[in-house]
Homo-oligomer: A and B are copies of this chain.
Amino acid sequence: PSRLPLYATHQVGVAGFVLNEETGQVLMVQDKIRVSLWKFPGGLSNPGEDIADTAIREVYEETGVKTEFKSVISFRQQHNHPNAFGNSDIYVVCRLQPLTSAITVCQDELLDAKWMKIHDVAHDVNIPTLTTRICRLGICGMVEGFDKVDIQMEKLESIYRGAFYKIYHRPLSDKYNYM
């Protein structure tokens, strides 16, 4: 195989799964172009932007809701995505905790945005599988604890001096981390 490096092959999209645990509601937005589609708010990462920051920014831009990052709950890899111009696409769903609840719909991008009952979204046959699956993971988290479903994030120092990266994996108890 060639030893020449490849260039960037993937765009990275991030969605915010904004779950209010007290009300059991999740923040959903309605696409302006494909009006039948209700989905999580989100969009593409800017160059150099961390996954969690993209999620928080996109949710705020699209709905005005302020949030805090909790975990990554799922990611998807897809090739030849119609919106990816021949590139591949990695789409990461972050679980976010809402800090505010009032919605201001971004009129440029969306037709509507609202809080929906997570159980309604999970059972809506018109909502794509990825979205209903995330809601089912969220319900599992609310019932059994988010430790069951979370992929946690941690910032670590790179072997390249002064550089940092973020790793994502399952929570690891101190028993194994400091053995």
Give A contacts to B, CB under 8 Å.
1, 3, 5-12, 44-48, 50-51, 61, 73-85, 87-88, 90, 108-109, 122, 128-130, 133-134, 136-137, 139-140, 143, 148-151, 156-160, 163, 165-170, 172-173, 176-177, 179
| Across-interface contacts of A82 in B (CB, < 8 A) | 160
Whether the pair B51, A172 counts as a contact (CB closer than 8 A) is no
Q: Shortest Cβ distance from A125 into chain B, in angstroms?
A: 13
| Across-interface contacts of A168 in B (CB, < 8 A) | 74-77
Contact of A137 among B130, B156, B169 (CB under 8 A): B169
Whether the pair B8, A133 counts as a contact (CB closer than 8 A) is no
The answer for the CA separation of A145 and B43 in the assembled complex, in Å, is 36
Whether the pair B74, A108 counts as a contact (CB closer than 8 A) is no
Whether the pair B172, A136 counts as a contact (CB closer than 8 A) is yes
| Across-interface contacts of A47 in B (CB, < 8 A) | 6, 9, 88
Whether the pair A76, B167 counts as a contact (CB closer than 8 A) is yes
Whether the pair B140, A83 counts as a contact (CB closer than 8 A) is no
Q: Shortest Cβ distance from A136 into chain B, in angstroms?
A: 5
Closest A-B pairs by Cβ, 7 of them: A74-B169, A78-B165, A8-B8, A8-B87, A140-B176, A10-B10, A48-B79
